[in-house]
Structure 1
Amino acid sequence: MHRRIAALAAVGAVAATVMVAPAAHAEGRGDIRVTKTVVNDGGSVIVGVKDVKRFPITLTIKDNSGVKKVSSVSAINRTNGYGPVDHLGTTCRKVSTTTSVCTATMRIDPAWIDFYGSGNKGWDANAVAGDWTVNATVHANDGDYWISDGIASFRVKRAAALTTDASPEPVRKGGTLSVTGKLSRANWTDLKYHAFTKQVVKLQYKKPGGRYSTVKTATTDGKGHLRTTVKATASGSWRWAFLGTNTTMKVVSTGDAVTVK
């Protein structure tokens, strides 16, 4: 089993996926600094129940003598300090005599999340989702170094799934069409998808060759189910669309085409 990094560091306020130095908390020697940090190319890190998730953290680093190396990169949940993520290594590209762009490869294995905190009373593996922060230690050719905490914020989200079924098919013009579905999301305790309840989801429709637009909304019940009815006026496709939350990804179902006769 690879070594897991769980740095317990003070963190700054959440801003965007990309933050620019100065860091929220830092210490070191000399003028070396991380001037920009981008996590996962600016997107949230989505973790399911099976596949190992790898994502990049890209650091722009400057020093008057040039950048020597990045000795560590870590990421933790900014609220509770949880950080079941591996730093697999960092590669650096020199872009000038004073500046390098270094990319760290990080990894989250959903199969390890629950075990990570199993020794903590009241541990909930799903509490890993939410706002995270990045820490890094960088070194210059002249011996300068800088330990930076809170240099970027990003979100780790639970993967989600959404289905749609419209019936009857075909349906007579002016008849009632019933559209059902189910919203579920990854649970990192048992590595299964569970119903996501009490969530507002959009019902969308498009004509053949057109674009989807929202017709109405519905709320998932205690089993994650969605159900509503609409009047059938023309052939087209129906789908459910969920906008996501701070801890769960946005997801859109596959459209279900219905012919109106």
Structure 2
Amino acid sequence: MRIRATVAAVSGALALSALAVPGAHAADSGSTSTYRADAAKVREAAHTATSGKSAFSASAAAVDEPYVLDATFSNVKVNKGKSIVVGATTHVTVPATYTLTHAADVDITAADFFSGPYIYKGSFDTPDNVQFGDDPGTCTPTSSTTASCVADIDIYANEGYLINSDAGAWKAAGLAYAYNGQDPSSPSFDITKVGVADQGGFTSPKVQRLSKLTVNAAPEPVKKGKTITVTGKLTRADWETNKYVGLSGQTATLQFRKANSTTYTNVKGIKSTAGGALKTTVKASVDGYYRFTYAGITSTAASTATGDYIDVK
């Protein structure tokens, strides 16, 4: 499992005790990724607890592990259901909303209570990758036991958060944890008094590699009836090199819009060749704009080039 600013797979107790201080206090140091780091460690603890189960045992005190926090997530919505498109070097902030339901004795307004959504690739218990937000969610109580919450999930393409095989289907989850006054940096830290709730299996949109298209129609100007050569290139983000690389073997559609129109119409479909190259010919008829458009695939987002104007004499 690849999570930035996290810990190796260890026992639940050790993972939580590795936290220097509760996130709310550590944030005073100026770090913008304290919650991300702490949430990753807490989740790691939840999934490597000494009970050997993905959830904590009912008798936490007997096995020296956190207890199951009486809190659940519902109505988890990530990026309004739209695909999460990540470029080669971009920081993508993904909005999310969720409902938090909790027991009446769980104080979600406490300074050392945190909750937030995250997305994961692969299985819930042993994911290939997990992405959290830089900050916990903000929850507004709607009753004594429910709250409506908003949060962001942050993805940094140029900091090793993603590899190319991560593109495609992901799932969403919710994490909540309460230190209940416990300070992990204290010798008297009692892990059995720390509550953690971790719930997965929610729908998440795909995480896709950003694609780009270029187009050039020539010669220009051109005589009516003469041949126009339209060239371009289809590339997509490479999350491992933080560059854009050619995408071959994909179908792009050449479109044309007359100069006095606002609507593009399809002319023909062609496949990209080595390096993502696109090349085709058409006969010049009237002034207008040529462009390529690409519908995308599971791993790669759709894209459309800016139209290139041709002056027909």
Shift, 1:97, TM fit: 4.9
Please list the CA deviations of residues 108-149 of structure 1 after superposition, one character each: whole Å capped at 9, or x if unmatched: 111222xx68xxxxxxx2112111111213479xxx985311
Matches within 5 A, 1:223-234: 223-234=275-286
Q: Equivalent residue for 1:175? A: 226
3-state SS in 2 of match to 1:247? coil
Q: 1:255 Cα deviation (Å)?
A: 0.4
* 1:104 is aligned to 2:142: no
Matched, 1:40 2:79: yes
Deviation at 1:156, TM superposition (A): 0.9
Q: Which residue of 2 aligns with 1:212?
A: 264
State whether structure 2 residue 137 is matched by structure 1 residue 85.
no
Q: Is the 8 A contact 1:160 1:249 kept in 2?
A: yes
CA distance 1:214–1:96, change in 2 (3 Å) = farther
The one-letter amino acid of 2:153's match is: M
Residue pair 1:5, 1:74 contacting (<8 A) in 2 also: no
Relative contact order: is structure 1 or structure 2 higher (C-alpha 8 Å, sep ≥ 6)?
A: 1
Opposite residue 109 of structure 1, the aligned amino acid is Y
User: What residue in structure 2 maps to residue 256 of structure 1?
Assistant: 308
What's the % identity of the aligned pairs? 31
Aligned length: 235
Q: Which runs of 4+ in 1 moved over 4 A?
A: 6-10, 25-30, 63-67
Structure 1 residue runs of 5 or longer lacking an equivalent are 11-24, 118-124
User: How far off its partner does 1:96 sit?
Assistant: 4.6
Q: Which has the higher helix share?
A: 2
Give 2:294's match in structure 1, choosing from 223, 229, 242.
242
1:166 to 217, 220, 225: 217
Q: Return the match for 2:274 from 222, 247, 258.
A: 222
Shift of 1:64: 7.5
Root-mean-square deviation (CA, aligned residues, Å) is: 3.1
**Alpha-carbon deviation of 1:60?**
2.1
2:118 to 56, 74, 78: 74
Shift of 1:237: 0.6
Please give the secondary structure, in 2, of the residue aligned with 1:127: helix
Give the strand-richer structure, 1 or 2.
Answer: 1
Scaled by the length of structure 2, the TM-score of the pair is 0.66
CA distance in 1, matches of 2:146, 2:107: 7
- For 2:116 and 2:97, locate their aligned partners in 1 and report how far apart those are by CA, in whole Å: 13
Q: Which moved more, 1:67-76 or 1:51-60?
A: 67-76
The separation in 2 between residues aligned to 1:183 and 1:173, in whole angstroms, is 29
Residue type at the aligned position of 1:87: G
Which of 81, 89, 92 aligns to 1:50? It is 89
In the alignment, what sits opposite 2:173? 135
Q: How far, CA to CA, are the matches of 1:60 and 1:71 in structure 2?
A: 11
Contact 2:293 2:303 (C-alpha < 8 Å) held by counterparts: yes
